[in-house]
């Protein structure tokens, strides 16, 4: 198909597809799905070989969040029966992290519920970062603490954090339908603060919240414009007790098309399959490794994931290999910038943009629903949205609340 040949050529050159091309990927038929996966797989293998990076989540503080994000089981007013606890002590967090590292994870993601950290919270997390790095040589640490105030990203970098995650989740035009207690611009600002402090920016999206194809393309183009080093792709886990508990619109085929579109738009970034892969990709998870080069190992923040050993078996059986601690994840042109800071984004150093750096962005990561222009020329949006797929059988049995690991006396899943 001419579309796929064009997208592969653009991906190998780090050239931005047009909006029409990105929308066309989402509108492909199931008959063409394997061709789409094979094409996006060529781009993935060109930049990342057959390596799969493992990441491990540690939920430092669970529940009781004052924000009203509709997708979140920790939100204000949530009736989800999740674990609720205050800050883990540094040693407890380090022990939880060690389980993931022992399972093959090279990055530990420290997450805390809440609008954003106080300065005291930053001090607390700084102690946790030190404990983890002292006890796990060579591990990367990514913090995810919500909206950052001035100076906090610098303090996290000084404490030893390597990266900061703040997902922008959906398009700017629909953001107010999902969250009202903060704005899309607030999220963009935090990604920019992290990037300006020299942290590796990590920002992604959540699919399956009732968005259109245009919304998905908007957020991914905005991510491209912000230029993070890693883009987590979450598939909504419809948790009972949250406003989106009935949003069961994803199929494995739809998820694969979304991942392929993300890979074509962000060809040389770490695309990570995040929450919901077990629920929505199900038995087609191994096929998704041809599109993404990174996954979370084991459990998520408030829900259980696939058994850690099953993740490792899946990677091996699919013909991929776990990325070693000594291997550099990013392609050379990105890795040099990630370790030295992006500065003014001069030359072609900061990522996936063709030509001179990051276009019109403010030097902030790769994540956002900013919708404020993209690098390169793009065609106007067209109404090519495929109908929202109807799921005949809702698999609520695949959603399990986490009852082990951080915040419990039970061993973690890693």
The residues annotated as belonging to the active site are: 65, 69, 72, 109, 142, 202, 272
Please give the full DSSP string across 74-98, using - where no structure is assigned: TSTT-------B-PPPHHHHHHHHH
List beta partners, residue 132.
none
Q: Is 210 left (phi over 0), alpha (psi -120 to 50) or beta?
A: left
CA neighbor of 304 nearest in space, from 404, 224, 212 = 404
The total of other beta-carbon atoms located within 10 Å of residue 287's CB is: 18
Rg for the chain, CA atoms, rounded? 19
Q: Say if CB 178 and CB 70 are below 8 A apart.
A: yes
- Per-residue tokens: 230: 């890693």
- Tokens at residue 214, please? 């245009």
Can you tell me the distance from the alpha carbon of 286 to that of 319, in angstroms, rounded to the nearest whole number? 9
Number of C-beta neighbours around residue 50 at 10 A: 16
End-to-end CA distance of the chain: 41
Q: State the DSSP code for 60.
A: E
410: exposed, middle or buried (C-beta count within 10 Å: 0-12, 13-18, 19+)?
exposed
Task: Please answer whether residues 359 and 353 qualify as being in contact, where contact means their C-beta atoms are separated by less than 8 angstroms.
Answer: yes
E strand residue ranges, 75-184: 107-112, 140-144, 163-165
User: What is the C-alpha to C-alpha distance for residues 354 and 242, in angstroms, rounded to an integer?
Assistant: 41
Q: Enumerate the β-bridge partners of residue 276.
A: none
Say if strands 140-144 and 163-165 run parallel, antiparallel, or are unpaired: parallel
Q: Which of 83, 195, 164, 89 is nearest to 132 (CA)?
A: 89
Question: Which residue spans within 205-337 are E strands per DSSP?
Answer: 205-207, 230-235, 270-273, 294-296, 321-322
Q: How far is CA 162 from CA 56, 352, 362, 368, in A?
A: 14, 20, 20, 20
């Amino acid at each position: 198909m001419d579309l796929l040949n064009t997208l592969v050529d653009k991906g190998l050159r780090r050239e931005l597809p047009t909006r029409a091309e990105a929308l066309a990927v989402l509108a492909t038929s199931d008959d063409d799905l394997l061709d789409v996966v094979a094409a996006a797989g060529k781009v993935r293998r060109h930049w990342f070989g057959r390596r799969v990076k493992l990441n491990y989540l540690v939920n430092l503080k669970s529940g009781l969040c004052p924000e009203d994000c509709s997708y979140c089981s920790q939100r204000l007013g949530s009736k989800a029966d999740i674990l609720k606890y205050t800050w883990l002590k540094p040693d407890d967090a380090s022990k939880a992290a060690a389980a993931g590292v022992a399972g093959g994870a090279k990055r530990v993601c420290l997450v805390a519920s809440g609008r954003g950290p106080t300065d005291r919270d930053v001090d607390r997390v700084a102690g946790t970062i030190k404990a983890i790095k002292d006890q796990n040589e060579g591990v990367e640490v990514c913090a995810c603490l919500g909206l950052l105030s001035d100076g906090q990203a610098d303090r996290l970098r000084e404490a030893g954090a390597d990266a900061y995650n703040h997902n922008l989740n959906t398009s700017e035009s629909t953001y107010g339908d999902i969250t009202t207690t903060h704005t899309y611009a607030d999220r963009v600002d935090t990604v920019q603060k992290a990037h300006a402090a020299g942290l590796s920016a990590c920002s992604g999206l959540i699919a399956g919240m009732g968005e259109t194809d245009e919304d998905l393309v908007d957020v991914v183009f905005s991510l491209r414009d912000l230029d993070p080093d890693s883009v987590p792709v979450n598939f909504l886990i419809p948790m009972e007790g949250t406003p989106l508990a009935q949003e069961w619109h994803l199929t494995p085929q739809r998820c694969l098309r979304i991942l392929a579109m993300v890979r074509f738009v962000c060809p040389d970034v770490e695309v990570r399959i995040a929450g919901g892969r077990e629920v929505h990709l199900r038995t087609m998870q191994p096929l998704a490794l041809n599109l993404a080069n990174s996954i979370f190992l084991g459990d998520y923040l408030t829900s259980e994931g696939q058994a850690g050993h099953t993740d490792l078996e899946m990677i091996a059986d699919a013909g991929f290999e776990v990325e070693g601690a000594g291997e550099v994840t990013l392609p050379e042109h990105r890795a040099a910038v990630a370790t030295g800071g992006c500065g003014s984004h001069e030359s072609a150093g900061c990522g996936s943009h063709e030509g001179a750096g990051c276009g019109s962005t403010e030097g902030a990561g790769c994540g956002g629903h900013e919708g404020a222009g993209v690098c390169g020329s793009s065609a106007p949006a067209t109404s090519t949205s495929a109908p929202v797929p109807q799921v005949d059988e809702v698999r609520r049995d695949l959603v399990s609340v986490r009852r082990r690991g951080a915040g419990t006396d039970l061993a973690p899943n890693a």
